[in-house]
């Protein structure tokens, strides 16, 4: 009998078709708990993305489970010790969306600093010249970019910044070679990163120790004109502290693609602030990145076949 794979969130169609040729695939959305729990009773593998919480309670419903595939990068929605205790292999796609997220960060920066107004056929000569004066931006190579988190995505962001000519500061909880050469950038302690960055972009993971990595003390250390970008995890920033900082610093900007909770609560005070922009968690959503993440099915199939996966967690 072919193995049974339960899929709780959408994966790319060619990857799903590839998997269907090797296993019995059951699509069971994570929101439909009764159907999901029933399918887990006979599941050999489970494939999730962002919103399925793989914890001990879920694993207890899947006595035959051999592998969990995370179609994505972060693993904070998967209880790795609980999987390990049950002999369940966890596989993921660690570099699948790095380019997509890094590109998105610079799209956000350019949206903020290089305004662009589209001409219409009824634009008068007077309006044309007004727009030329109005749409004056800030050149990126005059600014300092701070990168908090120097993993795959953080390094790629720093490489782009270096190519543009930005002064780039980096900080991570793990040691960084001094000086780093690929890309060339300046390792600094966290206080220096916060105080010296014109733009701060966050790329740390969502481990519990990183919850509220930035709260009132860290935010007040930022420049009052800083652009703060979070495309990593919503829980990394204390949203109440962020709202207070944004309100106190009207020339600053906060751009959040991720939220805590997600989707954000309609009562979140950040919605009311004109210098805060909230986005629907789309940094990794390019066609190429979505397919790269969905190819986690290859490692899932490898484990089911008794082979060594390329990307075990």
Active centre residues (catalytic): 233, 262, 281
Helices 296-304 and 287-294, axial angle in degrees (round to 10): 10
| φ, ψ dihedrals at 301, nearest 5° | -65, -35
Residue 218, phi then psi, degrees to nearest 5: -70, -40
Tell me the two tokens of residue 272. 């009311």
8 A C-beta contact, residue 201 and residue 229: yes
Order of strands, edge to edge, in the sheet holding 144-148? 186-187, 167-171, 144-148, 199-202, 227-230, 253-256, 276-278
The residue whose two tokens read 């997509």 is: 100
Q: Rounded to whole angstroms, how far apart are CA atoms 39 and 66?
A: 14
How remote is the C-alpha of 236 from its chain's centroid?
11
Q: How many CA atoms lie within 13 A of 124 on its CB side?
A: 3
Distance CA(271)–CA(265), nearest Å, equals 9
- Whether 43 and 62 have beta carbons less than 8 Å apart is answered as yes
3-state secondary structure of 26: strand
DSSP secondary structure string for all residues of 102-166 = HHHHHHHHHHHHS------TT--HHHHHHHHHH-----GGGSEEEEE--SHHHHHHHHHHHHHT-
């Amino acid at each position: 009998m072919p193995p049974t794979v339960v899929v709780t969130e959408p994966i790319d169609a060619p990857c799903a078709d590839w998997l269907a040729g090797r296993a019995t695939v059951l699509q069971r959305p994570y929101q439909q708990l009764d159907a999901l729990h029933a399918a887990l009773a006979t599941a050999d593998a489970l494939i999730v993305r962002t919103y399925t919480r793989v914890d001990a309670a879920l694993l207890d419903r899947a006595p035959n489970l051999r592998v969990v595939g995370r179609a994505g990068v972060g693993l904070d929605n998967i209880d790795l010790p609980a999987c390990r205790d049950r002999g369940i292999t966890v596989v993921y796609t660690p570099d699948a969306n790095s380019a997509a997220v890094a590109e998105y960060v610079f799209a956000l920066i350019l949206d903020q600093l290089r305004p662009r107004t589209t001409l219409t056929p009824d634009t008068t000569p007077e309006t044309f010249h007004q727009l030329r004066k109005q749409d004056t931006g800030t050149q990126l190579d005059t600014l300092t970019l701070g990168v908090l988190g120097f993993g795959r995505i953080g390094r790629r962001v720093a490489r782009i910044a270096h190519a543009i000519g930005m002064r780039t500061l980096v900080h991570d909880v793990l040691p960084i070679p001094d000086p780093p050469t690929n890309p060339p950038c300046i390792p600094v302690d966290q206080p220096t990163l916060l105080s010296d960055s014109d733009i701060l972009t966050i790329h740390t993971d969502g481990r519990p120790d990183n919850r509220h990595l930035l709260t009132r003390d860290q935010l007040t250390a930022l420049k009052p004109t800083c652009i703060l970008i979070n495309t990593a995890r919503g829980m990394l920033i204390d949203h109440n502290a962020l709202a207070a900082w944004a309100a106190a610093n009207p020339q600053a900007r906060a751009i959040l693609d991720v939220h805590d909770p997600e989707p954000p609560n309609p009562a979140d005070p950040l919605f009311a602030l004109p210098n805060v922009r909230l986005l629907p968690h789309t940094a990794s959503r390019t066609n190429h990145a979505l397919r790269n993440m969905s190819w986690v099915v290859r490692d899932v199939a490898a484990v089911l076949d008794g082979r060594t996966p390329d990307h075990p967690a």
